[in-house]
Amino acid sequence: MNLILLGPPGAGKGTQSRLVEEKFGLMQLSTGDMLRAAKTSGSDMGKLVAKVMEKGDLVTDEIVIALIAEQLESHPDSKGFIFDGFPRTLAQADSLANLFEKKNQRLDKVIEMRVEDEALIRRVTGRFNCTVCGEVYHKDSKPSKVKNVCDNCRAVDSFIQRSDDNEESFRTRLVNYYRDTSPLIGYYHAKGLLNSIDGLLDINKTQQNILEILGA
Ligand code: AMP
């Protein structure tokens, strides 16, 4: 099964795709995570994208499509993929369709997570994550059970806030979402693949709604 989670920054795509990944044995492909890893590694590509990401702008289609193509190529036996933060433009969506076609595979579903702008900004500016396992927290709605200790991997003092999770970058990311990414809602609707859910509900309820769409 191949699945896309579509939604603005802070909609909960990362959190939900991790849960679906566990449940279905699918592989989560987050272009944001891949780009952050490239930044941390200090590679040429990482250096190239660092400033763009910091500002909240979109990295070029060529770079992200190459990252996804490489992942699909190197995991031929995967039971399927959950795309988180990809595609973000119509060109990326077309490239993904081509990649699937070449592999005789198909996209099964697209789930759009809808959240209003003001809730998004509260979510994004309050969130932080564990640098060891990636678990995502929020200072109000999902703090760690023990201060400075990750609930998931027990790492101590491993929490960090993303450098683009500030109000200024968030506003740019939101504009980019409405301008470049939201046309994908119509694109996938026309292909009969779109399902929309309320992403404002709590994590468990949202997860249930996603599982229902997936027929689980
Ligand atoms: P995310 O973790 O999905 O919020 O992505 C963080 C940042 O990485 C975005 O604000 C973009 O700068 C960049 N990025 C991630 N995925 C893409 C993509 N599919 N296309 C272009 N830029 C991306």
Residue closest to 109 by CA, chosen among 83, 129, 90, 134: 83
User: What tens-digit pLDDT sequence spans the chain (216 residues)?
Assistant: 999 999 999 999 998 998 899 889 999 999 999 999 999 999 999 999 999 999 999 999 999 999 999 999 999 889 999 999 999 999 999 999 999 999 999 999 999 999 999 999 999 999 999 999 988 899 998 999 999 999 999 999 999 999 999 999 999 999 999 999 999 999 999 999 999 999 999 889 999 999 999 987
Show which residues are catalytic.
13, 88, 127, 162, 173
Rounded to the nearest angstrom, the distance between the alpha carbon of 31 and the centre of ligand 1 is 6
Q: What pLDDT does 86 receive?
A: 98
Residue ranges of the alpha helices (H) in 56-166? 61-74, 90-102, 117-126
Q: What pLDDT does 146 receive?
A: 96
Q: What pLDDT does 136 receive?
A: 87
Say if ligand 1 is within 6 A of residue 19 CB. Answer: no
Say if ligand 1 is within 6 A of residue 68 CB. Answer: no
What residues contact 169, with CB distance under 8 A and at least 6 apart? 54, 55, 56, 163
Sign of CA dihedral 83, 211, 136, 75: negative
Instruction: Kindly state the tokens that stand for 165.
Output: 């999770």
Say if ligand 1 is within 6 A of residue 58 CB. Answer: yes
Rounded to the nearest angstrom, the distance between the alpha carbon of 109 and the centre of ligand 1 is 21
Protein residue closest via CA to atom 2 of ligand 1: 32
State the pTM of this model: 0.93
Rounded to the nearest angstrom, the distance between the alpha carbon of 146 and the centre of ligand 1 is 31
Q: Three-state SS for 82?
A: strand
Q: Specify whether the CB–CB gap between 150 and 49 falls below 8 A.
A: no
Say if ligand 1 is within 6 A of residue 31 CB. Answer: yes
Say if ligand 1 is within 6 A of residue 127 CB. Answer: no
Q: What pLDDT does 66 receive?
A: 97
Rounded to the nearest angstrom, the distance between the alpha carbon of 59 and the centre of ligand 1 is 7
- Testing ligand 1's pocket by substitution, the residue of 29, 35, 89, 169 carrying the most ligand atoms inside 8 A of its CB is 35
Q: Three-state SS for 162?
A: coil
